[in-house]
Amino acid sequence: MGAMREDHEQAADTNRRGNGADGRHLVAVLALPGFPPFELGIPSRVFGSAVDDDGDALYEVVVCTADGAPVPSDCGFSLRPAAGPEALAAADTVIVPPTHAMPELARGGPLPPAVAEAIAGIRPGTRLVSICSGSYVLAAAGLLDDRPATTHWNLADEFRRAYPRVRIDEDVLFVDDGDVLTSAGVSAGVDLCLHLIRRDHGVAVTNRAARMCVVPPWRDGGQA
């Protein structure tokens, strides 16, 4: 996956819109087996609250799976996705929430073939984002090698052992490394999504989105 990472670095651009309906920025959220519903729902809720001065949506969010098939959550129900890997290939931003059903990743093991193939199909220049332990998926794909990143504070030591090339920082809420961004545990995914809106559209749009979600537009401090 090293070549894929180089392609993303070389082709990352500043214009992050265009592939969704009506030219909106398309966000694809990859639901993996064993997903926690809260983290999976963060992108849809936060980006779905971002509107322009006329009240028009600035993002289109689609939830997909690696092969288009339903996947189980970690709390007793399954998700039927709106799309398959084609959504990842078309997206402007790909977000990977956590999974609680791939213990091999905690040991530095390989991604399941379908997941690896789906991630390999992401276009160069696509912005890549993880929430909480979704960072393991990006790391297993080689996309965090020699980069700063974060994950849930309770997983930091395990993560370092599994992926020693990643410069993990468990003290921050999120890390913005340009075209690859990672968030800390659970609700820090909200902070990162708001940061992306701020980066794309400025403070006023972000404040409106935060107000709709009844969360602070900026949270000081870190995971401690």
Give pLDDT tens digits for 52-61.
999 999 999 9
Q: How many CA atoms, within 13 angstroms, populate the side-chain half-sphere of residue 81?
A: 27
Answer yes or no: is pLDDT of 123 > 50.
yes
Say what the pLDDT of residue 17 is: 54
Q: Which 8-state DSSP code applies to residue 92? A: S
Answer yes or no: is pLDDT of 156 > 50.
yes
Q: Give me the mean pLDDT over the 151-174 stretch.
A: 97
Residue for token pair 């969010």: 61
- Rounded to 5 degrees, what are φ and ψ at 196? -65, -40
Q: What 3-state DSSP class applies to 187? A: coil
Q: Give the pTM.
A: 0.92
Domains located in the chain, CATH noted:
2-213 (3.40.50.880)
Q: What 3-state DSSP class applies to 41? A: helix
Q: What is the pLDDT of residues 60-116, one digit of tens each?
A: 999 999 999 999 999 999 999 999 999 999 999 999 999 999 999 999 999 999 999
Answer yes or no: is pLDDT of 34 > 90.
yes
d(CA 61, CA 74): 22
Residue pair 25/18 in contact by the 8 Å Cβ criterion: yes
